[in-house]
Every structure is written in structure tokens, then in C-alpha cells.
């Protein structure tokens, strides 16, 4: 049994009902996206086929809701890595189960 409808209900319960599908898509992209973690904004934008500005807004929401965290790239001060928190990884896993 897929947990996706339950996950959408959960997202709606925390105020993400209007953007649950986009939020879920980004969450799964961070979890399962192209290449190996860590993910970058540019990499996620390319994987999803959307502008980087859209990914930034989505990641802002993931971070604000404690589903993801930004980590500075030690080799490039202009870039950050996007990684899921334990909470985000658990939710993403439920979505792809």
C-alpha cells in the first residue's frame, strides 16, 4: 500500500495543502534525485526542469519546516548543499514506498 495519500494529508495538516504536490516533488528529488548526495540548487533545478529560483523557494520551505538543511560547500563559497533532515528523509521514504 502506497503511503502517498497519507503523506499529502500530513502536508495539508501542516499548512502545505496548496503546494503539497510541488513540495513532495522537491522532497523526493532531494531524496532520490540525479547523482549522489549532496544536492545543489542548480542540480535540483536541472533534475526537475524548473528555474533555480523555484527550487530556492521550495528549499526555503523545506528548511523552514525542518525537512531539509543547507550546508555550505567547502570548495565553493557561492554554493550550498541541500540535504534532508531525519524528518525529511522519513517523509520522503514514505512517499516513495
Using one digit for the tens of pLDDT, what is the confidence trace for 37-94? Answer: 668 888 888 888 888 888 888 889 889 989 899 999 899 888 899 988 998 888 887 7
DSSP letter assigned to residue 3: -
Containing H/E element for 54?
helix 52-64
Best-predicted range by mean pLDDT (8-12, 27-31, 66-70) = 66-70
Go through the chain and tell me how many residues it has. Answer: 97
Question: What does pTM read for this prediction?
Answer: 0.72
What does the pLDDT read at residue 3? 47
Domains along the chain? 1-6+38-97 (1.10.10.10)
- The x, y and z cell numbers of residue 96, run together, are 516513495
Q: How far apart are CA 54 and CA 26, in angstroms?
A: 10
Cα–Cα distance measured from residue 47 to residue 16, given in angstroms and rounded to the nearest whole number: 22
Amino acid at each position: 500500500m502506497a503511503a502517498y495519500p497519507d503523506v499529502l494529508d500530513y502536508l495539508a495538516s501542516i499548512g502545505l495543502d496548496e503546494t503539497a504536490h510541488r513540495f513532495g516533488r522537491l522532497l523526493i528529488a532531494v531524496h532520490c534525485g540525479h547523482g549522489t548526495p549532496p544536492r545543489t540548487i542548480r542540480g535540483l533545478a536541472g533534475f526537475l526542469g524548473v528555474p533555480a529560483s523555484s527550487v530556492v523557494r521550495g528549499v526555503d520551505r523545506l528548511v523552514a519546516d525542518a525537512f531539509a538543511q543547507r550546508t555550505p560547500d567547502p570548495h565553493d563559497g557561492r554554493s550550498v548543499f541541500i540535504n534532508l533532515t531525519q524528518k525529511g528523509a522519513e517523509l520522503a521514504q514514505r512517499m516513495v514506498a
